[in-house]
């Protein structure tokens, strides 16, 4: 164990020197440096054309965490379907940290009702689930500016079979371990970040071409 720690220390020290980073310069950003939006500024800001649909997600803590992720990536809205808990509730607020006040949300008695509205508004409806015809997240072609709805399912049963039948596509997060199961908040964070990153890259590429 001591040998491992010494070796790790040498490698870590080498990495710092190799990247030109000095220990004293690795500092957390202060709150002002984060340039956080006010609630009013968030509501007025242009949103990424993404709606997250929660299909019978049971845990209030999970719902709150997804609101917080939605706020982080400036997405359009969260749709809460079926028995998915709705704000205001202190157990949602524990993990949302105020994001229920910034992110638009809407409740639907059924997920199918939400999908009908989304399809009529020309959203591409994409489930995140493990199916025989799923596309690996690493290969899925998100497009900047394309209105997209991501569906995340119940913590135990996943996305409902009937809901899957009306989706335009199904994304699967590639995994390598023994469980092949992620908490819904982790799945949401991974896929929303991938959408955000891909669209941001495409927009930056377009700007470079225009320049």
Q: Report pLDDT digits (tens) over 90-137.
A: 999 999 999 999 999 999 999 999 999 999 999 999 999 999 999 999
In whole angstroms, what is the distance from residue 86 CA to residue 93 CA? 10
Examine the pLDDT at 37 and tell me if it is beyond 90: no
Write out pLDDT tens, residues 69-82: 999 999 999 999 99
d(CA 197, CA 137): 13
CA distance 163 to 52: 14
Edge-to-edge strand order for the sheet containing 48-55?
104-108, 75-81, 48-55, 148-152, 124-128, 169-172, 135-136
pLDDT tier at 3, thresholds 50, 70, 90:
very low
Helices 60-72 and 184-210 sit at what angle, rounded to 10 degrees?
10
Query: Is 169 in contact with 140 (CB distance < 8 Å)?
Result: yes
Q: Rounded to an integer, what is the distance from CA 76 to the centroid of its chain? A: 12
Separation CA 60–CA 97 (nearest Å): 13
For residue range 145-204, list pLDDT tens digits in order.
Answer: 999 999 999 999 999 999 999 999 999 999 999 999 999 999 999 999 999 998 888 767
Confidence check: pLDDT of 16 > 90: no
Range in 10-24, 135-149, 194-208 the model is least confident about: 10-24
pLDDT at 209 over 50: yes
Query: First and final CA of the chain: distance in angstroms?
Result: 54
Going by pLDDT thresholds of 50, 70 and 90, the confidence category of residue 21 is: low
For residue 172, the surrounding DSSP H or E stretch is: strand 169-172
Q: Which two tokens stand for residue 53?
A: 């649909």
User: Do residues 170 and 164 touch, judged by C-beta distance below 8 A?
Assistant: yes
User: Across residues 8-28, what is the average pLDDT?
Assistant: 59
Token digits for 109?
A: 């008695």
């Amino acid at each position: 164990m001591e040998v491992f720690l010494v070796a790790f220390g040498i490698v870590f020290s080498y990495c710092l020197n190799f990247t030109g980073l000095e220990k004293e310069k690795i500092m957390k950003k202060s709150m002002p440096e984060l340039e956080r939006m006010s609630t009013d500024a968030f509501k007025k800001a242009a949103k990424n054309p993404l709606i997250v649909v929660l299909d019978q997600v049971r845990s209030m803590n999970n719902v709150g965490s997804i609101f917080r992720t939605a706020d982080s990536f400036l997405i359009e809205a969260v749709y809460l379907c079926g028995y998915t808990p709705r704000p205001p509730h202190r157990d949602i607020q524990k993990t949302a940290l105020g994001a229920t006040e910034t992110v638009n949300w809407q409740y639907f008695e059924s997920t199918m009702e939400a999908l009908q509205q989304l399809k009529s508004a020309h959203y591409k409806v994409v489930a995140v689930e493990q199916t025989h015809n799923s596309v690996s997240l690493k290969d899925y072609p998100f497009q900047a500016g394309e209105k997209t709805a991501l569906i995340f399912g119940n913590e135990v049963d996943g996305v409902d079979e009937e809901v899957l039948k009306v989706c335009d596509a199904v994304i699967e997060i590639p995994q390598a371990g023994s469980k092949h199961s992620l908490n819904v908040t982790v799945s949401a964070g991974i896929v929303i970040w991938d959408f955000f990153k891909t669209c941001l890259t495409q927009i930056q590429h377009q700007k470079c071409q225009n320049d």
